[in-house]
Amino acid sequence: MGRRVLEPFSIDEFRDFDAESRISRAIVGRDFGDNEASILCCIVFARPATFLQDFRITWSDSHIRQLQGGTAIQLVLDQNSGCGFASKSQYLFGRVSMKIKLIPGDSAGTVTAFYMNSDTDSVRDELDFEFLGNRSGQPYTVQTNIYVHGKGDREQRVNLWFDPAQDFHEYSFDWNHYKIVFSVDGVPIRVYKNHEARGIPYPKTQPMGIYSTLWEADDWATRGGLEKIDWRKAPFYAYYKDFDIEGCPVPGPANCPSNTNNWWEGPLYQQLTAEQARRYRWVRMNHMIYDYCTDRSRSKDAMGIRLMLLYSTVELYTTAVEFGFI
């Protein structure tokens, strides 16, 4: 497990680090005063950490077990309880990832969630991965959702192209001023671009914490609630390791979120690369099974239809541009 934080170093101090301590990503800024430029380097670095150094248990501590000296954990769901945890800090922009091995076999009715949340009630911002359990032999579905200023209902669902219960796989959020990318093993499965100029809200002012939960949701999770959880298969287990946070902690340096020299704000991260766009197209064409953009049945009134068309037109337009159709 690694924790990555932002701390200031002078250039001379940075040069004194041994090769193994240096990180390839460095943020260099210039502070001009009294006709002299003093160069400061803000290093994004990793150091060994245990689960409890970075996270706290928020729900049912008896159902979260530390493994491998606290560098990995097991979440447990049984008829008594599910469980959950959260980061001790909130972050504004950056990259968050973790490796998860999901519930094997018959997991119908269960939901394993990995998400970011501003914890601001009716005006919350939130980014969701929700892994929907299945009957044995059926593909695992991951549902993503985005809440901005309290407005959600932007679900998309993708059937994973591998068995996520056989081994660990990396799930990540990349969040900057230009876009949010949801990725699985480095493959983009969803892109939400900043289109504030078109009247679409974008999360950029509220820091978000990092959360995960394992719980029962058999009223909707599997085939719309048709498949119920089989408690005879309990307890259900999900495993986590390699938590990685690179971003601006809040509270923290006040100018960090707006620093255009942060690596995640660089030109390489302002849009998908050609290879990322190719993989993104492959996922959407071959593995996407639901997209709110094309579900007009969910808008029950004229205003709802207009809002849905506004949101969906922009997201569909973004997808077309990424695919090279426009």
> Which residues are catalytically annotated?
126, 130
Query: How many Å apart are CA 69 and CA 44, to the nearest integer?
Result: 25
Residue 146 φ then ψ, to 5°? -135, 125
The structure tokens 């932007």 sit at: 154
As a whole number of angstroms, the distance between CA 56 and CA 6 comes to 21
What letter does residue 87 receive in the DSSP assignment?
Answer: E
Per-residue tokens: 115 = 């998400």
Q: Give the DSSP H or E segment for 318.
A: helix 302-323
Is the backbone of residue 186 left (phi > 0), alpha (psi -120 to 50) or beta?
Answer: left
- Can you tell me the distance from the alpha carbon of 38 to that of 224, in angstroms, rounded to the nearest whole number? 59
The Cα–Cα gap between 4 and 278 comes to: 30
> Length of the chain, please?
326
Between helix 302-323 and helix 274-286 the angle, nearest 10°, is 130
What is the rounded CA–CA span in Å between residue 92 and residue 4?
14
Q: Tell me if 152 sits within 8 A of 126, measured CB to CB.
A: yes
Rg (CA), the chain: 21
Q: How far is CA 232 from CA 76, 196, 198, 217, 257, in A?
A: 15, 49, 51, 16, 48
* Cα-Cα end-to-end distance for the chain: 41
